[in-house]
A = this chain, B = another copy of it.
Amino acid sequence: MRQVEAIIFDVFGTLVDWRTGVANAARPVFAAKGIDIDPLSFADAWRGEYQPSMERIRSGNRNYVSLDILHLENLEIALEKFELNREFNATEKEELNHAWEKLPPWPDTVECLNRLREKYIIAPCSNGSIALMARLARFGDLRWDAIVGADIARDYKPAAQTYLKSAAALGCNPGQTLMVAAHNSDLDAAAACGLKTAFFPRPKEHGPGQTIDLQATGAWDFSSRSLPALSDGLLAVD
């Protein structure tokens, strides 16, 4: 493992709690408008459009646009599902779209990143844009050495180029780069590109009834019970 020089991280779910964050942004807006819809259900519906919207780009049916644009389009779809589209004007939708820049880090995230940064180059490898990741990092006090991910490759994970161009942008070969995620599918794709892989679960990402990604389902280079445990392991490697 010592040849690992850079650690790249999935962000949504792995490092920040998107479900709580989006719900927290929607709650006061819904209350002010007298909308009686559970903000957590709304967050799930909004996030539910995430993969389909990226798939149109991954499949080549649409040119790359940043996740900020997809999020805004997906907001329209989510609002329509709840028959709320007429309740929001364009400015209010854009304002609500900034919810994705204000997602709370999980309680262990900041300290673990700071510890890992003492030894490794660290960067997000997210489907979020550089603009989004920069604002999210400012909000949550995440100190990155650089931001890589979808904007660098102009394609979305799990497309191979997203991992390969992210590693290259950091000046690393795939084998010198460790991908960390609480999602087995993300690591599947990274491993296929020759990156090192590390898993730990975030059992509350999807709320109390979560059924997926509760444990490692692949032979990852590291599988830990938590981010602090993984960090201890990575810092102990000579």
Contact = CB atoms under 8 A, between A and B. Distances in A.
Contacts of A131: 146, 169-172
Interface residues of A, number: 23
A80 interface: no
Given A68-B171, A171-B68, A171-B129, A146 B147 contact: yes
Contacts of A152: 130
A77 interface: no
A15 interface: no
Contact of A145 (B68, B121, B138, B171): B138
Interface in A62-106: 68
Contacts of A137: 145
Nearest to A68: B171
Given A131-B170, A132-B171, A146-B133, A138 B121 contact: yes
B143 A143 contact: yes
Oligomer: number of copies: 2
A148 interface: yes
Nearest to A123: B134
A151 interface: yes
Given A146-B147, A147-B146, A147-B147, A171 B121 contact: no
A47 interface: no
A206 interface: no
A129 B168 CA distance: 11
Given A121-B135, A134-B146, 20 more contacts: A68-B171, A121-B138, A129-B171, A130-B146, A130-B169, A130-B170, A131-B169, A131-B170, A131-B172, A132-B171, A133-B146, A134-B145, A134-B171, A135-B171, A137-B145, A138-B145, A143-B143, A146-B146, A146-B147, A151-B169
